[in-house]
Structure 1
């Protein structure tokens, strides 16, 4: 169950008692409020609250830039200018708070983005549910032979089944032992804060995660990238769609300049210029390492 009965009751109550507001609202984001979007097998994302919209970015930029922005004739042009030149502070005027349910190993990767406010479900006070992330067969893959932190060929047949069986059995066994260690059924048992250490990293946790748009874009640029781990990318791609509904002009600029764009080193710029001039450039003559050259060719052929 993605939402607990208590969480669903909270949503139903909020929907039943709408309140008028004088603040600016984004119609696209209003449609996401109180909606739990499923992710992976037991996960979810829902928008708890937000502040600002495209106009808030423009308003902040015109306050700080003053007369210098008069040459920009429209909001879209100004937002694209800000994104193109890495002017980040106007994007910080928008904020969003998500409720996220996710596997612990994804949470530990996610929390590396430290520019957010986070409040996580506490297994010191509450007992975690028996819910584990078990990958779909198409997401079971061997270690990559060229990338130490990535996946290679997809597992198939008996090998895939063997791994799935181990994941399910280990998850259930560890939870059985977790329950058995807790103080219940008349036994003294172990404190929750200690018993939780026996749980695997694929068990689900939940948190509220609040951040501004600038730092959200930074998160999405890394985690919605095709090279990101699938499990966190599934969350990031959904957040991209939500953000596009919230701030369509800003997201379009972000998609163009950050998600769809690429950065070149000084050596990369020089190699590209030499190629355009008709010169044959190789990895050995480019001054780049093998890894840099592989990435350069991945974009420029």
Structure 2
């Protein structure tokens, strides 16, 4: 992980000067404030600010739904009820602002979640650092033969070495050309033009602010075992933070989202027939081969 001296100085200063507040404070997330959680080879995630906690979710729910929540006797039970029945607005009462350093190709995946506020480091005004994501050998895989957007088996040591050599050489060459183009003693090209030559594995940074409801949706997709490894490790790091920030909400999220499955009507029919001891096939239920395979994974 690479923090600049200026960033580390900022973290040290902020953590050494706590200020009293009358607003809700989550002790769990306070320990994460400003600290950088390492991700990949040069990346990190750090909490800049937050609002609300488990209690804020319950407070909002009781205002919103009034008598409808009186049968729920405690905050944890209420949160689990809200999560189980797909209520969203109470979870939107909590927000978090993260500082993330990540490769550009991961950022392009991440930004597809359009329910957050983002401010990214601008290569129009500033010069990007000479830092590139180079995967570890165990994460260099062949194309999957069953999933067009996934990875298959790890490449052989010889192939892996070849890939690493290409990645390192191309990254260095692109940055050398970038530096020469923007150098006043070189070409003197505008930074906004020179950046187009940089590879997608160079690191960028942004501030990302999102409410808890939309953050959990992001985590449900990106912390899933099927997500691309390079974004999944960021999601895993954020999961650590959320588990400390709003533990009851995160536990409900684990139980009703991450640890649960969603079945189609055809799947439910097939499951009921199987429980009755009847033989069921993909053809008899009208499922496609892929859906049948997913169904088998769910019940195995």
TM-score normalised by the chain length of structure 2: 0.99
Q: How does 1:225-236 map to 2 (within 5 A)?
A: 225-236=224-235
SS in 2 for 1:132: coil
* Distance in structure 1 (CA, Å) of the matches to 2:205 and 2:187: 28
- Conserved 8 A contact 1:124-1:193: yes
Q: Please say if 1:217 is aligned against 2:246.
A: no
Q: Distance in 1 between matches of 2:41 and 2:12?
A: 23
Q: Distance between the aligned counterparts of 1:120 and 1:2, measured in 2? A: 17
Alignment of 1:93-242 (within 5 A): 93-185=93-185, 187-242=186-241
Q: RMSD over aligned Cα, in angstroms?
A: 0.8
Q: Distance in 2 between matches of 1:33 and 1:52?
A: 14
Deviation at 1:114, TM superposition (A): 0.2
Q: Cα distance, 1:157 vs. partner?
A: 1.4
CA contact (8 A) 2:104 2:201 kept: yes
Structure 1 CA distance for aligned equivalents of residues 10 and 240 of structure 2: 24
The 2-side partners of 1:16 and 1:260 are apart by 39
The 2-side partners of 1:12 and 1:150 are apart by 40
Runs of 5+ unmatched residues, structure 1: none
Superimposed CA distance per residue, residues 169-206 of structure 1 (whole angstroms, 9 cap, x where no aligned partner): 00000000000111422x45210000000000000000
Answer yes or no: is 1:58 the counterpart of 2:31: no
Cα distance in 2 for partners of 1:160, 1:205 equals 25
1:79 corresponds in structure 2 to 79
Counterpart of 1:15 in structure 2 is 15
Q: 1:28 maps to what in 2?
A: 28
Runs of 4+ in 1 over 6 A off after TM superposition: none
Asked whether the 8 Å contact 1:183–1:191 carries over to 2, the reply is no
Is contact 1:38–1:45 with CA below 8 Å preserved after alignment?
yes
Name the SS for the 2:20 alignment partner: coil
Once the two structures are TM-superposed, the CA of residue 78 in structure 1 deviates from its matched residue by 0.5
Shift, 1:156, TM fit: 2.1
Distance 1:66 1:149 in 2: 45
Provide the secondary structure at the position in 2 that maps to 1:184: coil
CA distance in structure 2 between the aligned counterparts of 1:20 and 1:156, rounded to whole angstroms: 57
Query: Which whole-Å CA distance do the structure 1 matches of 2:32 and 2:208 have between them?
Result: 16
CA contact (8 A) 2:180 2:187 kept: no
Partners of 2:107 and 2:29 lie apart in 1 by 24
How far has the Cα of 1:262 moved from its partner? 0.5
Q: Contact 2:91 / 2:212 at 8 angstroms: preserved in 1? A: yes
Aligned to 1:251: 250
Distance 2:217 2:67 in 1: 29
Q: Is 1:80–1:250's contact at 8 Å kept on the other side of the alignment? A: yes
Asked if the contact 2:98–2:208 (Cα under 8 Å) also holds between the matched residues in 1, the reply is: yes
